[in-house]
Amino acid sequence: MVTPPAHLRDVAVRALRAGFQVATHAIGDRGNRIALDAYEAALEEVPTKDHRFRIEHAQVLSPRTSRASPGSACSLDAGDSPDQRHAWAERGSARAGEGSYAWRSLLETGVIIPNGTDFPVEA
């Protein structure tokens, strides 16, 4: 963790009040859950229909996280999945293997997947 959860929530609240979008970089299941919890808390305080909050990467999700609220966006990197899933998710913990690259379950709940890229890092 680089950013404390309370700070992430406070930034999201300030962003909503100012009409800005928030993008959070999270890869693991804990980071993604913390980001979504912060977003949900901010939206409870400042209800905003078109908030366009986004999580960059969102590669490993717990079953609860993969049922994120509709209107959230997870910018998954299609270029990452073959290399990284093979490198660590498939032979890692059951938690990583089960929840990694859960694109279908996100789409089924109405989460937007804009597709990102780490170019030129993942070229």
What is d(CA 70, CA 109) in angstroms, rounded to the nearest whole number? 6
pLDDT for 16 equals 95
Q: How many separate domains does the chain show?
A: 1
Residue 12 falls inside a structural domain: yes
The helix/strand count (H/E) of the chain reads as: 5, 3
- The pLDDT score that the predictor gives to residue 82 is 52
By C-alpha distance, which of 2, 102, 35 is closest to 43?
35
122 found inside a domain: no
Residue 34, domain member (yes or no): yes
Distance CA 73, CA 93 (A): 26
- Give the per-residue pLDDT at 55: 85
Structural domain boundaries, residue 66? 5-108
Nearest to 71 by CA among 29, 42, 95, 96: 42
**Is position 74 within any domain?**
yes
Walk along the chain (123 residues) in steps of 10 and give the mean pLDDT of each run: 94 96 87 90 92 82 61 62 53 59 73 67 54
Residue 77 burial (10 A CB sphere; 0-12, 13-18, 19+): buried
113 part of a folded domain: no
Structure tokens at 38: 């912060």
Give CA separation, 27 vs 18, 24, 84, 118, in Å: 27, 10, 11, 13
What was the pLDDT predicted at 61? Answer: 76
The reported pTM is 0.74
Residue 58 placed within a domain: yes
The Cα–Cα gap between 101 and 113 comes to 11
In a domain? residue 117: no
Whole-number pLDDT of residue 6: 96
Phi, then psi, of 2 in degrees rounded to 5: -100, -35
Domain assignment present for 47: yes
pLDDT of residue 69: 56
